Structure 1
Amino acid sequence: MISIEGLSKIFTSNKRQITAVDDLTLEIKEGDIFGVIGYSGAGKSTFVRLLNRLEEPSFGRIVIDEQEITSLNSNQLRLARQEIGMIFQHFNLLWSRTVKDNIAFPLEIAGVPKAERDKRVRELIDLVGLTERENAYPSQLSGGQKQRVGIARALANNPKVLLCDEATSALDPETTNSILDLLVDINQKLGLTIILITHEMHVIRKICKQVAVMENGRIVEQGDVLDVFLRPKQQVTKKFVEQVMGTNDEDEGVNHLINTYDRGKLIRLHFIGETTNQALISEVAKKYEIDINILQGKITQTQAGAYGTLFVQIDGEAGEIDNAIDFITKTSVEVEVIRDAN
């Protein structure tokens, strides 16, 4: 659906060149919710603005739905942009226009007849949950309602791609979740490809299927969200995972456990997908002559499924402990022995 090859953007400031996006190559599948995460200055906002040529690339090629965006002239680009919706962190609404008039604005520019325009606006107001607010002005709306207007406006021309540049960063956590739920609903109902730019890992965790991590203008890590959460390779990725998993606190707790328990084996279990719902500990305790002490754990949901970590102490005869661990391993739960005091 979206193919990006060797994309670069170089700015010149005070006779000095700054590379904001550096030789970026990426494939995004049709209908995917694709997350791009990075800290401030990573180049992610420049990257998303290059996709619809709000910023002109210095080098590289962008193909969206078999159309090479980077080779279009100004008239061709104006038409192509109708199929690429975009929403922003600070909403970018027209403050002198009502909700319905803000949503209708891109349709007016496209020359859509009024009757057809009004029909489309009503559909979009219902879709984003703003029924009975269509005559309100932006100053009369909450932050979440303003962003819903922004989403409806971005969908007005039935785009194939929706670009979201820090779309939830100005919102409180509860409102953020409601907007993310709306984006998932739109993705499922319309089959829309969504590219989500953010610096918040919980946003990626909640709705994205694939993620790319940016640092210094480059993609340093990418893959399925679940895989990246479970096995982050780069230091910047590990920091983002800590946002939702509290890895530092966990490591401190593990060190305490290692120094506390001097019997049996201390193990860490990694549950992925359906295995998080298994009554595994109860089954093992019934099957083998061992004592199991649950020490600490955490389960997190992603769009691709659940994963979790559980620390347990297993005490008993060495042979029974080994049999129990072998049984757990065969269930596809990953087992890591942290301390063996036998």
Structure 2
Amino acid sequence: MISIEGLRKTFTTKDKEITAVDGITLDIEEGEIFGVIGYSGAGKSTFVRLINRLEEPTSGKITIRDKEITALNANELRLARQEIGMIFQHFNLLWSRTVEENIAFPLEIAGVPKRERMERVQELIDLVGLNGREKSYPSQLSGGQKQRVGIARALANNPKVLLCDEATSALDPETTNSILDLLVDINKKLGLTIILITHEMHVIRKICQRVAVMEHGKIVEQGDVLEVFTNPKQPVTRKFVAQVMGTDKEDEDIHYLLSSIKEGKLLRLHFIGEATQESVISDVIRKYPIDINILQGKITQTQGGGYGTLFVQAKGEEAEIEKAVAYIREETSAEVEVVANDKRVISKHNI
């Protein structure tokens, strides 16, 4: 669907050159929600603006549905942009126009007749849940409502691609979730390919199928969201994952848990994908004469499945605990670690 090859953008200032996007090569599948995450200054917003040539690439090639965007002249690009919608962090609405007039604006530019235009506007108002606010001005809307207007406007010309540049960064958590749910709904109903730029990992977790991590203008890691969550390779990726999973506090948690148990073993279980649905604890209790005390746990859902960590205290004869650990390793899809009193993992089995 979208093929990006060797994409590069260099800005020239008075005394030096700054490379904002540095040789990105990437393929995005039709109909997927693809996330691009990075800290401020990573180059992600420049990258997304290069896709529809709001910024001109210094070099590289962008192809969308067999159309080479980087080779189009001005008139061809204007027509191609009708198939590429875009929403922004700060909405970019026309403040002197009502909701319906903002949504109708790209249709006016495209020369769509008024009757057809208004029918399309009403369809979009229904789609994004703005019924009753048609005559309102942006100053009369909440942040979430403004972004819904921005989404409807971006969809006016029936685009095949929707670019979202920090679309939820100016919103509170509850409103962010409602906008993300709307994007998922639009993706399913319309089959849109969505490229979502963000610095918030919970946004990636909630709606994206795949993710690319940017740092210093480069993509340093990419893959399915669940794989990136469970096996982050780069330091910057591990920081983002820690935002959601709380793994940055895990050493502190282990220290507290070890100090709180007076007998038995501390086990840490990891569950990935379908393993989160397995009745591992109840199976172990039925099979072995040991007691299991659940101390702490968390499961995080992604579009590709769940990922969870569970800390338990296993009490009983040491030989029976060892049998139970061996059973989890050999007969279930879970990963189990036995945590020693010096806070080092002394036994680990990987899926």
Which range, TM-score by smaller chain?
A: over 0.9
Structure 1 length-normalised TM: 0.97
Which residue pairs with 1:334 in the alignment?
335
Question: Structure 1 residues 239-248 or 271-280, which shifts more?
Answer: 271-280
Letter in 2 for 1:103: I
Could you say which residue in structure 1 is the equivalent of 2:248? 248
Moved more, 157-166 or 301-310: 301-310
Amino acid at match of 2:199: H
Q: Which residue of 2 aligns with 1:164?
A: 164
Checking the alignment, whether the CA contact within 8 Å between 2:99 and 2:138 is kept in structure 1 is yes
Give the SS at the match of 2:340: strand
The range that moved more, 210-219 or 298-307, is: 298-307
- Partners of 1:111 and 1:150 lie apart in 2 by 20
1:175-232 Cα deviation digits (max 9, x unpaired) = 0000000000000000000000000111111111101110000011111111111111
1:328: Cα distance to partner? 1.6
SS in 2 for 1:21: strand
* Cα pair 2:8 2:23 within 8 Å, conserved: yes
Is structure 2 residue 40 aligned with structure 1 residue 40?
Answer: yes
1:61 alignment counterpart: 61
Question: For 2:211, what is the secondary structure of its paired residue?
Answer: strand
The size of the alignment, in residue pairs, is 342
Q: Does the 8 Å contact 1:107/1:117 carry over to 2?
A: yes
Cα distance in 1 for partners of 2:313, 2:28 equals: 43
The alpha-carbon deviation at position 295 of structure 1 amounts to 1.9
1:132 and 2:129 correspond: no
The C-alpha deviation readout for 1:137-190, integer Å capped at 9, x for no partner, is 111111100000000000000000000000000001100000000000000000
Equivalences for residues 69-218 of structure 1 within 5 A: 69-218=69-218
- Deviation by residue 1:276-301 (Cα, 9 ceiling, x = unmatched): 23332122112101122222111111
Deviations 1:35-71 (A, max 9, x none): 0000000000000000000000011110111111011
Q: Tell me the distance in 2 between the aligned counterparts of 1:63 and 1:336.
A: 46
Corresponding residue for residue 349 of structure 2: none
| Percent identity for Structure 1 against Structure 2 | 75
- Indicate the residue corresponding to 1:29 in structure 2: 29
Alpha carbons 1:265, 1:340 under 8 Å: kept? no
* Root mean square deviation, CA, Å: 1.5
| Alpha carbons 2:258, 2:341 under 8 Å: kept | no
Cα deviations across residues 232-282 of structure 1 (Å, max 9, x unaligned)? Answer: 111111111111111122221112334554644322111122322333212
SS in structure 2 at match of 1:249: helix
Unpaired segments ≥5 residues, structure 2? 347-351
Q: Please give the secondary structure, in 2, of the residue aligned with 1:10.
A: strand
What is the SS of the residue equivalent to 1:164? strand
> 1:295 maps to which residue?
295
Match of residue 227 from structure 1? 227
TM-score, structure 2 as length reference: 0.94
SS of residue matched to 2:95: coil
C-alpha displacement of 1:338:
2.0
Distance 1:340 1:325 in 2: 17
**Matched residue type, 2:17:** Q
Query: Structure 1 regions of 5+ residues with no counterpart?
Result: none
User: Are 2:125 and 2:131, in contact at CA under 8 Å, matched by a contact in 1?
Assistant: yes
Q: 1:317: Cα distance to partner?
A: 2.9
Work out the CA distance in 1 between the residues paired with 2:241 and 2:89: 23
Alpha-carbon shift at residue 115 of structure 1 (Å) = 1.2
Is the Cα–Cα contact under 8 Å of residues 264 and 340 in structure 1 kept in the other structure? no
Task: Show the counterpart of 1:272.
Answer: 272
Give, in whole Å, the separation in 2 of the partners of 1:320 and 1:50: 60
Whole-angstrom distance in 2 between the partners of 1:264 and 1:243: 31
8 Å CA contact 1:7–1:59 kept in 2: the answer is yes
The DSSP-based 3-state class of the residue aligned with 1:221 is strand
Deviates more, 1:303-312 or 1:23-32: 303-312
**What's the secondary structure of 1:251's corresponding residue?**
helix
User: Which 4+ residue blocks in structure 1 deviate beyond 6 angstroms?
Assistant: none
> Bigger shift: 20-29 or 323-332?
323-332
Structure 1 contact 161–192 (Cα < 8 Å) conserved = yes
Q: How far did 1:90 drift?
A: 0.4
CA distance in 2 between partners of 1:254 and 1:233 (Å):
22
CA distance in structure 2 between the partners assigned to 1:274 and 1:6 by the alignment: 37
